Structure 1
Amino acid sequence: MKGSIYLTIAIITEIFATTMLKVSEGFTVLIPSVAVVVGYALSFYCLSLCLRTIPLSIAYAVWSGVGTVITAVISVIVWGEVFTDFKVLGIIFIIGGVVLLNTGKNTVTENDPSG
């Protein structure tokens, strides 16, 4: 359960930092620029904590996938970016990839030197 909480915080802070990246205007505006650094630092810290209980492949797929999808939606709502059919298709593929990674078996193969 703790891993899921850390992963959720990592996703929220990554989305916040990415949004501030746009507002920072190429790191020329101080407050949003500081928010980018703090947001990403907190995001990576929480991501590292969630890896204590969640496998890396699943945690990273969920973190990057959910972050990408929500950031795309924010860009449409806040900055009026166009939501094309290709963007929708891309989001569907991202969600599908995350779902596949979460439902796949975690097995060790014979060729795996760690197994």
Structure 2
Amino acid sequence: MNGYAWLGLAIVAEVIATTALKASDSFSKLGPSLITAIGYAFAFWCLSHSMKTVPVGVGYAIWSGVGIVLITAIAWVLFKQKLDLPAMIGMGMILAGVVVINVFSKSAGH
């Protein structure tokens, strides 16, 4: 599997783990707490595989940027957290940064 596929799996696992972390109610609920621990462990395992071919700075920028946007969208839908205009503009800028890295940067190593 290529590095960006591993990175994609890492992001999905981290988003699931972070969503479960909110649902764990400070680790007081067993099911979500287990999902959190397993999800983060799997996310970092996948991230470590991605780092074999993806430059660390690029990988971390994609990991954090996509993760922030996905978690914010999930929080908006599942937890009814409100997003104001500056938050939405900021999310758009984060996504734009990820696109610029992937489309235009020679550092991305595609």
Same fold at TM > 0.5: yes
Distance 2:84 2:61 in 1: 23
Counterpart residue number, 2:72: 72
CA-CA distance at 1:100 after TM superposition:
3.6
Note the aligned Cα RMSD (angstroms). 1.3
Equivalent position of 2:105 in the other structure: 104
In structure 1, what is the equivalent of residue 86 of structure 2?
A: 86
Report how far residue 55 of structure 1 moved.
Answer: 0.7
Gaps of 5+ in 1: 107-115
**Alpha-carbon distance between aligned partners in 2 of 1:70 and 1:98, rounded to the nearest angstrom:** 13
**TM-score normalised according to structure 1 size:** 0.85
Q: Please name the residue that 1:5 is paired with.
A: 5
Unaligned 5+ segments in structure 2 are none
Greater C-alpha radius of gyration = 1
User: How many residues get paired?
Assistant: 106
Partner of 1:31: 31
SS at match of 2:61: helix
Name the residue aligned to 1:110: none
Bigger mean CA deviation after superposition, 39-48 or 1-10 = 1-10
Find the counterpart in structure 2 of residue 57 from structure 1: 57
TM-score by length of 2: 0.88
Q: Which runs of 4+ in 1 moved over 4 A?
A: none
Q: In structure 1, how many angstroms separate the alpha carbons of the residues matched to 2:96 and 2:57?
A: 14
Q: Counting helix residues as a fraction of each chain, which structure ranks higher? A: 2
